[in-house]
Amino acid sequence: EAMPTETEIQQALQKAHQQFRGTKEGKNADYIPYLATVNPNLFGLALVTVEGKVYTVGDATSPFPIESLSKPFTLARLMDEVGAKKVEDKIGVDATGQPFNSIVAIEMNEDHRAGNPLVNAGAITSVSMIPAATPEARWKKLSDNFNDFAGADLPVNQEVYKSETETNTRNQSISALLDSYKVLGSPREQALDLYTRQCSVNVTATQLATMGATLANGGTNPVTGKKVVSPDTARRTLALMATNGLYESTGEWLYQAGVPAKSGVGGGIVAVVPGRYAIAAFSPPLDKAGNSVRSQRAISQVVNSLGDNLYAAT
């Protein structure tokens, strides 16, 4: 099918922004104190094509914490470096169907692995498995990887990092449990610290859409031309987003929008149409599962109106 025209894309973004900016449902995350203080009216959309064309509307250049949106990109780095088999064996690649911070999912898993790389337990395991001699070297790999996906230098939001470090008792329990089952690749305090730091990276909707467009483009950043991961890795990462990208409401998301996506509790969501484009949205108020309400509605509408629901025959 032909790509939508520039006018069609711009109009679809504007229409969705207009339609959903007045939506009042949802509530900022507050279990991370910093996130409760972010302006809930912020709302931005960005779409980046595999040709590297960028479209935006609203607050597309406002930085926000990447949070769980870090997970697929670190997973992709890990897969590219150690191979998909290791991820399949040590973490698992099936849907958990559980909330992102589930402890039950670890207990229920036959081998007491995380079960999936896109929930907290799986992401802490992913970080712990990135090959590196020191925690500093491991952090540099994680950070360089985000920057390569985004084609920009993404800074750590120190306030968020501090706020999360002071309050992440739940994630401490998750890492301790994983450690007790001996599934972590490096010491648990280190893994949790680097995971917390990667969640605190600031990103804008435009940068997030570029990160998604790199996956849409088979692992090569369409704006900078840099090959970040292999086409196999990009494909596998998108499949995992389709089955576990929005936690326990992933099925409902796929049913509505028909494209793989990933959310974060900072209010960002990125959705990918393989071979065509990625669209990112940012708006802080979340539903019960931790997914931005405005971002879900806007992305779903744009993708469907542009004829890009992957399950539609035409």
Residues in binding site for substrate: 68, 120, 164, 171, 195, 247, 265
Site membership for ligand GLN, residue 68 (CB under 6 A): yes
Alpha-carbon gap, residue 74 to 65, rounded angstroms:
15
Site membership for ligand GLN, residue 122 (CB under 6 A): no
C-beta closer to ligand GLN: residue 33 or 52: 33
Smallest gap from residue 120 Cβ to ligand GLN (A): 5
C-beta closer to ligand GLN: residue 262 or 297: 262
Of 56, 74, 101, 125, the residue at the interface with ligand GLN (CB under 6 A) is 101
**Per-residue contact track with ligand GLN, 102 to 121, x per CB under 6 A?**
------------------x-
How many residues at the interface with ligand GLN, by CB under 6 A? 11
Q: Which two tokens stand for residue 97?
A: 């169907």
* DSSP for 126-156, written as a single string: HHHHS--SSHHHHHHHHHHHHHHHHTS-PPB
Site membership for ligand GLN, residue 290 (CB under 6 A): yes
Site membership for ligand GLN, residue 67 (CB under 6 A): yes
> Which string of b and e fits 267-278 if b means at least 16 CB within 10 Å?
bbbbbbbbebbb
C-beta closer to ligand GLN: residue 264 or 285: 264
Smallest gap from residue 228 Cβ to ligand GLN (A): 22
Q: Which residue is nearest to ligand GLN (CB)?
A: 68
Q: Which helix (H) or strand (E) holds 244?
A: helix 231-244
Of 12, 46, 127, 265, the residue at the interface with ligand GLN (CB under 6 A) is 265
Q: Is 6 helix (H, G, I), strand (E, B) or coil?
A: helix
| Residue list 170-229, contact with ligand GLN (CB under 6 A) | 171, 199
Smallest gap from residue 168 Cβ to ligand GLN (A): 7
C-beta closer to ligand GLN: residue 57 or 154: 154
CA dihedral 297, 298, 302, 308 (to 10 degrees): -50
Residues 6+ apart with CB under 8 A from 198: 66, 70, 74, 127, 142, 146
Q: Which two tokens stand for residue 172?
A: 């401490």
Tally Cβ neighbours within 10 Å of residue 15: 15
Q: Which helix (H) or strand (E) holds 87?
A: helix 84-90
DSSP assignment, residue 3? P
C-beta closer to ligand GLN: residue 194 or 223: 194
Of 58, 258, 264, 274, the residue at the interface with ligand GLN (CB under 6 A) is 264
C-beta closer to ligand GLN: residue 72 or 222: 72
Q: Which two tokens stand for residue 308?
A: 């890009």
Alpha-carbon gap, residue 90 to 101, rounded angstroms:
18
Binding interface with ligand GLN (CB under 6 A) = 67-68, 100-101, 120, 164, 171, 199, 264-265, 290
